[in-house]
């Protein structure tokens, strides 16, 4: 079976280079946080956790009355979340974060979630924007599912999304460099391939690929119109599978979602990905942490390769060797996003209105 040169190469050949690049990234992030000198007070939404890849010791105490105020224009998708201090999540000065619109004229920044305002310009904050106020365009959906971007032009001076070229980078997941090696235990496997899909569109690329793939290998499909999978049973169920189909609903740069980070890596299954090109995935993951459908000339070739790995434990285990030094994190709840916005506002003093948001995002 013809495979890409990557599939033929030793699985750990690129791992040291990738780990080094991840360490440099982690160190830069640590330095970025520690160098923050602007006072503020920040409140976070979501579950408790720490984000930094290295501990931040003795964060500076904010000065009374000096906090930045951030107005969350709408709760994303109308879902409220508990607020917590970001000093406990990122070790930075806190900000005052509120969803109370009476703070609008006094807010240093306003975060606007795209999907909650895209129906009409009337849903946006009342303009014109105060000269000293920053409007942050917040969106985690792909361009395919981000309608009406046109009337967003010339309004926002900061962007916050999964795109690496955003002003505030909020990915669906990332890797953290471990301070010492770990012995990762692969969950016991009794099944082969799983897929969880809620938006079943027979005309979509991913469904059509699945229809071809299932001719050669069995796939257990969960979600709407398929087998039921309660949320509290999801990871324990998926951990029983050797492979998980992390098929994105649209193909765009950097659009690598919870399908990979949570469903696959979070459950200890090897991701089989369909999304942007392999090179894009390798900006986030070691090359031997996943299997890309583009590495194979056909769905039949992919099925044959998965069946080979199923029978060869040594080759299968190589897809987990990167976990010795790297740990996937997907703490992407609202709290982290708000915290990153607060951090960016404290660190950046220069802002420029983005004249063509629609062109940039597409």
Q: What length is written for the chain?
A: 362
Q: Of 42, 141, 176, 330, which is the active-site residue?
A: 141
| Burial (0-12, 13-18, 19+ Cβ within 10 Å), 306 | buried
Q: Catalytic residue at 141?
A: yes
Q: Which residue has the tokens 């016991």?
A: 188
As a whole number of Å, the end-to-end CA separation of the chain is 37
Could you tell me which of 180, 138, 177 has the C-alpha nearest to residue 155?
A: 138
For residue 59 the two structure tokens come to 């964060």
Positions marked active-site:
141
């Amino acid at each position: 079976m013809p495979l890409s040169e990557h599939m033929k190469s030793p699985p750990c050949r690129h791992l040291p280079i990738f780990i080094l690049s991840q360490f440099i990234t982690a160190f830069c992030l640590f330095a970025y946080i520690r160098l923050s000198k602007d006072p503020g007070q920040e409140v976070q939404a979501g579950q408790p956790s720490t984000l930094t890849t290295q501990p931040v010791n003795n964060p500076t105490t904010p000065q009374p009355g000096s906090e930045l105020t951030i107005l969350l224009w709408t709760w994303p998708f109308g879902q409220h979340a508990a607020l917590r201090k970001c000093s406990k999540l990122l070790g930075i000065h806190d900000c005052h974060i509120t969803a109370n619109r009476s703070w609008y004229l006094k807010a240093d920044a306003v975060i606007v979630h795209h999907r909650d305002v895209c129906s009409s310009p009337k849903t946006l904050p009342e303009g014109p924007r105060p000269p000293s106020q920053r409007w942050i365009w917040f969106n985690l959906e792909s361009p395919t599912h981000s309608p009406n971007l046109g009337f967003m032009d010339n309004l926002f001076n900061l962007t916050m999304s999964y795109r690496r070229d955003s002003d505030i980078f909020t990915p669906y997941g990332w890797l953290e460099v471990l301070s010492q090696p770990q012995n990762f235990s692969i969950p016991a496997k009794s099944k082969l391939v799983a897929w969880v899909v809620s938006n079943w569109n027979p005309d979509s690329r991913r469904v059509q690929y699945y229809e071809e793939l299932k001719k050669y290998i069995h796939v257990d499909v969960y979600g709407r119109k398929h087998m039921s999978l309660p949320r509290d049973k999801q990871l324990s169920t998926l951990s029983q599978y050797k492979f998980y189909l992390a098929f994105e609903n649209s193909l765009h740069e950097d659009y690598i979602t919870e399908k990979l980070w949570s469903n696959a890596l979070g459950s200890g299954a090897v991701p089989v990905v369909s999304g942007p090109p392999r090179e894009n995935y390798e900006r986030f993951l070691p090359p031997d942490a996943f299997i890309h459908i583009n590495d194979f000339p056909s769905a039949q070739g992919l099925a044959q390769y998965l069946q080979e790995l199923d029978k060869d434990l040594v080759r299968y285990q190589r897809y987990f060797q990167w976990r010795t030094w790297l740990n996937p994190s997907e703490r992407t709840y609202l709290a982290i996003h708000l915290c990153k916005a607060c951090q960016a506002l404290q660190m950046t003093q220069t802002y420029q209105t983005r004249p063509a948001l629609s062109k940039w995002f597409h």
